[in-house]
Structure 1
Amino acid sequence: MKIYISNYLSHSISIINYETLETEREIVLNNNIYPHHFCVDEQEKKIFIPSLINGTLYAVDIISGKILDSISVGGSLSQIFMHEDELFVSNEDTNSIYIINKYTLDPITMISVDDMPHGFGYYKKNKRLYVPCINSIVCIDIENKSIYKKIDTDFKAWHLEIDEKREEIYVSTLDGKLVILKEEDLEVVNTFQELLLPVQIKFNYTDNRVYISDLGYNQIKILDYNLGKYIGKIKINGIPQGLEISNDYSRLFVSDTENGEIKVFDTKTNQLMKAIHVGKEPTTIVCL
């Protein structure tokens, strides 16, 4: 198992061995590539990186670290999602989702959404892709490549995570909230405060925990999944942003953008296992 990390200001991707928690290698990119988010195609041995600054999508070979291909999309590309042979890329400038062939990087189509689409959340059961926008949440039908439904919101949606167990959507907002909605009708069922700038959300179904990284308060908030209340926090001596949890829910990975580290915590004790130095301003973590 490998852990991939995008280092925004180092223009690089770090690869960490899951067993040893040691950095195996670093893929150094061009200085004009700012990797905020990415996705990994293990079968094709490629990493797809939308550059936030120059509006270009890159396909990078994992083995050689070389750029295989690129396509200029334009605008501010924030996040990417891969489904079968297609890539979905959010563009905050054009308020659109671009769909691109992952083999050729040829454009397939574009879906217009609302203001500043940022994160993605995929619901496998119905093949729906949820897109948080500033004042709405848009649901895209992956197969038909069209908007299935949407809801206008009174909160500023930023990131979201799908809870497939209960068929709900957890949304972190730019106005310091965690909002939970029903997946089917997007009805709000609960709202949590006591956050400043929440970013990513991860579920631990073994211990019935929900983790929320809060870069405003420099901590990870812990929510009891069953009771629906805060039960603790993990203090980060830095600025937490990206979150990832291992497949067995035993390890929580946090990107510390201030110190250039990936911090690994034991989910049973919430104790720090190791701080792994990577590049400058690590953001997204992918564990495969």
Structure 2
Amino acid sequence: MSINKDKLIVANTGSDTLTVIDLKDDYSLETFKLWEMLNSSGIQNLNSSSAIGPYTLAAGNEKNIIYSVNSYDNSVFKINIKDMVIEEVIYIGRSPSHVEIIDGLIFVTNTDSNSVSVIDEENFVILENITVGEKPYDIKADFEEKRVFVANSNEYSISVIYLENNKIEKIRLDSNPLHFFLNSKLLYILSSQVNGMVKSSVSILDLSNNELIKKVYIEGVLVDMTPIDKKDEIFVTNAEDGYLYKIDLIRGKIIDKYHLGGMPSKLLWDGNKLLYIVNSLKNYISLFDCSKGKIMKNIKVGIEPNGLIFL
């Protein structure tokens, strides 16, 4: 089903900016400098870091509110996107990277602190910091089972945090997880190449018994993945060769690949036919038509784009 959103927001890590792209107005865009927004916010006791490093974004439950997770100054900004105002700032662990919101709680992975910060969304205060595995990176919520999965990117494991009883368990893997998504009772896991010694891969984990049931290896450095339509067919980006791969996980084979150039990384699907692809080297967002198998447009944004959300 198509996602009926008007804007695409891009977090530009290297230039401390947000780019807002109007999807209904021929992709016109505005760029907002976070330092200027911060200085005009009137918020006291701010970190004196020389860089902010917006890395990932999440839409809040409140209308017009987004959260920017900032890797350089170890913070989360609560931003009113309608007025482009930073309403609140909170400081968490070192090098925060990914965020997930479930049941009024904001979960943020702190990659260099080996922890997950839990923030009360309504009051915007830290409730606790949960110790997980080494270098936690991606985080995904299981809304039905009330739990979150944390990819311990340097520890061959996934931490599972249960919301209802605060129980934490680990699932052991045979490779370092970087990204994942849920498909019913299956967890699809992307593992990237490590020091050129191990191939990148995408695996399927059966959550009923925590056993791997499928694994596809790919040469190069995989960065991100997303399903489209049928979740057994996914797209992955390869930063080493500049290609976008289409993979059939059930048959365990590459269906097709498309040369994008540069360094393709983060992916966001519009629910219809377009993939929005971050190109970290060329500093633009590519609009890739899945039905035609080609780039329709490149949109120049800020330096080192990363996080993408629709709003």
Question: What is the aligned partner in structure 1 of residue 213 from structure 2?
Answer: 189
State the Cα deviation string for residues 32-71 of structure 1 (Å, max 9, x = none): 2111112122633222122111212211221222221111
Question: What is the aligned partner in structure 2 of residue 286 from structure 1?
Answer: 309
Amino acid at match of 1:278: V
Amino acid at match of 1:261: Y
Q: Within 5 Å, which residues of 2 pair with 1:1-288?
A: 1=5, 2-30=7-35, 32-41=51-60, 43-133=62-152, 134-135=154-155, 136-147=157-168, 149-164=169-184, 167-175=185-193, 176-205=200-229, 209-248=233-272, 250-288=273-311
Give the 3 Å change call, closer, same or farther, for CA 127–27 of structure 1 in structure 2.
farther
Moved more, 27-36 or 81-90: 27-36
State the Cα deviation string for residues 130-170 of structure 1 (Å, max 9, x = none): 111022111122333431x3212231111112223xx3212
The Cα shift of 1:262 comes to 0.7
Unaligned runs of 5+ in 1: none
Matched-pair contact (CA < 8 Å) for 2:139–2:149: yes
Amino acid at match of 1:131: V
Moved more, 205-214 or 82-91: 205-214
Structure 2-normalised TM-score? 0.85
Q: Give the fraction of aligned pairs with identical amino acids, expressed as a percent.
A: 22
- Tell me how far apart the structure 2 counterparts of residues 156 and 29 of structure 1 sit (CA, whole Å): 33
- Tell me how far apart the structure 2 counterparts of residues 108 and 169 of structure 1 sit (CA, whole Å): 28
Amino acid at match of 2:16: H
Matched-pair contact (CA < 8 Å) for 1:264–1:272: yes
Matched-pair contact (CA < 8 Å) for 2:228–2:271: no
Amino acid at match of 1:23: S
- Tell me how far apart the structure 2 counterparts of residues 143 and 36 of structure 1 sit (CA, whole Å): 29
- Tell me how far apart the structure 2 counterparts of residues 21 and 143 of structure 1 sit (CA, whole Å): 45
Select the structure of larger CA radius of gyration.
Answer: 2
Amino acid at match of 2:236: I
Matched-pair contact (CA < 8 Å) for 1:170–1:201: no
The Cα shift of 1:7 comes to 0.8
- When the two chains are superposed, the root-mean-square deviation of aligned CA atoms in Å is 1.9
Secondary structure of the 1:10 match is coil
Structure 1-normalised TM-score? 0.91
Unaligned runs of 5+ in 2: 36-49, 194-199
- Tell me how far apart the structure 1 counterparts of residues 76 and 167 of structure 2 sit (CA, whole Å): 22
Give the 3 Å change call, closer, same or farther, for CA 106–42 of structure 1 in structure 2.
closer
Give the 3 Å change call, closer, same or farther, for CA 208–96 of structure 1 in structure 2.
closer
Give the 3 Å change call, closer, same or farther, for CA 20–225 of structure 1 in structure 2.
farther
Moved more, 18-27 or 195-204: 18-27
State the Cα deviation string for residues 109-132 of structure 1 (Å, max 9, x = none): 222111010001222322221111
Give the 3 Å change call, closer, same or farther, for CA 207–188 of structure 1 in structure 2.
closer
